[in-house]
Chains A and B, each alone.
Chain A
Amino acid sequence: MLDDFLVRAALAGLGVALAAAPLGCFVVWRRMAYFGDATAHAAILGVALSLLLSTSIFAGVLVVSLLMATLVSLLSGRGYAMDTLLGVMAHSALAFGLVAVSFLSGVRIDLMAYLFGDILAVGKGDLALIGTGALLVVSLVGWRWSALLTATLDADLARASGVDPKREQLVLTLSLAIVVAVALKVVGVLLIAALLIIPAAAARPFCRTPEAMALLAAVIGATSTTGGLQAAYWLDTPTGPTIVSFAAILFALSSLAGQFKRRIVRATSSPDGNP
């Protein structure tokens, strides 16, 4: 079964979608969307460095993404607003990465595959890596779930309840780096953040608890990857971008449904003025 490239692609997509869903929820709740971007863009620098040093690309990307995330955490609150800092870091990491790649004469690398992913080229080894990474991230986030949520609400509130907000931030940073390294092959550097954020945002209107939102985000993410894969096969379009487009359409539908739901709630609750 694993000999079919479409089956491997679907499994890889599902693995990334499941790991990205709960993590993406935290990215949305903590307004860290740009943080995800910066970490992902640094990945191309990781690719270039690992090709230069001829180490495993996964390891290179993981290390550079982690360094990037740590650097951003350290620099925050030192004179620049977070969004400015992340804008500078994200794009300069990407630019340095692209420059570094151009020095790699003699090595033939398909830059497009790293920028936009090449899910159809996922091999059995990649699949094992994606599976392990996804399992690691899901267990890490699951294990720290309550503490992460408390730290997301308020740092002082967490501290008073015996939760160290800095440690939870580290857990998130580490998970983010793993997801970036794992998702590189599937959607590429430029679209990783989309796979984190869009399913979580699409799940929001239908949920009353954080747990429900993470589960629904996983379902939406899985639907997007399988649906996008299928659509790319029929339409003969690039797979990574098709997956993200599919997720974006689901997001648009969910926003419309959310608006509709809110209007109904308002209409039914207005007569007695008691929402």
Chain B
Amino acid sequence: MPLLSIDDLHVALGGRTVLEGIDLHLDRGEIVTLVGPNGSGKSTLLRTIIGAVAPAHGRLVGHPGLTIGYVPQRLAIDATLPMTVTRFLNLPRRHPPQAIRQALEQACVPGLGRQQVTDLSGGQFQRILLARALLEKPDLLLLDEATQGLDHRGTADFYRQIACVRRELGCAVLMVSHELHVVMRASDRVVCLNRHICCQGTPERVLASPAYQALFGPDTGDALAFYRHDHDRPDSDPSASTPTPPAAGTTRLETAP
């Protein structure tokens, strides 16, 4: 039985159909990336999985006892709310100090526990959100454009961290991303969404599919092909710590700053 099965899911927001006929199955330990243009329903799909949006029609069945860790796209904490990182990680359930320390280390931000959340940088806060999701020992980790606002270096580091977490916890990861050039390297499977699922499969298959190219334009294919070509060189090392500079066309795919 898969970790999560979504069958023929339809979602409407304010009378407008946002998702239709979504069939998606997630297995333990796989990293799946959702790509798609703005307004294609990527975030809505994640919000439906956590139960914030009720489906109009269709089934969403989780493995019994499924624990979900959720890292939202953006979280604005009001400046009037005093909150240390430790207190934030203990919401809504308290965890032993040992577990808090471990989660902060897993998310690569050890020793931040006593800081005020509002004093953190964007990258640090994103990692704190990841640490909070990890505290619940999730079977499924949902990331909604978790690297928004991070630079190339920070983004590459963040995805490396996700791969590491997957190895340690054995959890499945479902993430929304605009950074296709990084995503291609990090995911087992890519799902291309535009209200319905246009195509899905290994990164190579999705890249080559006409549906994907129709959605993102032929430029994209070229840019990614160029990028991949770059990586197929025998002297390149995919695990090197500095990310390869993006090819000329890839910047077009990223979210505007």
Contact = CB atoms under 8 A, between A and B. Distances in A.
Nearest to A152: B81
Contacts, number: 67
Nearest to B138: A160
A275 B120 CA distance: 11
B240 interface: no
A147 to B, nearest CB: 5
A162 B136 CA distance: 12
Contact of A154 (B75, B84, B142): B75
Among A201, A209, A212, A213, chain B packs the most CB atoms within 10 A around the CB of A209
A146 B94 CA distance: 9
B256 interface: no
A204 B72 contact: no
Interface string A174-186: 0000000000000
B91 A208 contact: no
A149 B92 contact: yes
B92 to A, nearest CB: 4
B84 A163 contact: no
B54 to A, nearest CB: 11
Contact of B82 (A152, A154, A209): A209
B98 interface: no
Contacts of A204: 80, 82
Given A208-B84, A210-B81, A150 B92 contact: yes
A158 interface: yes
Nearest to A144: B92
Nearest to B78: A29
B68 interface: yes
A155 B47 CA distance: 11
B122 to A, nearest CB: 16
Contacts of B75: 153-154, 157
Among B50, B51, B82, chain A packs the most CB atoms within 10 A around the CB of B82
B72 A154 contact: yes
Contacts of B119: 275
Contact of A147 (B68, B92, B116, B136): B92
B101 interface: no
A159 interface: yes
A28 B52 CA distance: 25
A98 B72 CA distance: 46
Contacts of B80: 28-29, 201, 204
A259 to B, nearest CB: 15
Identify the 7 closest CB pairs spanning chains A and B, nearest first.
A160-B70, A160-B50, A150-B92, A159-B52, A146-B92, A207-B82, A29-B81
11 contacts: A29-B78, A29-B80, A30-B78, A31-B78, A146-B91, A146-B92, A152-B81, A154-B72, A160-B69, A208-B116, A210-B83
Interface of A: 28-31, 146-147, 149-150, 152-163, 201, 204, 207-210, 212-213, 275
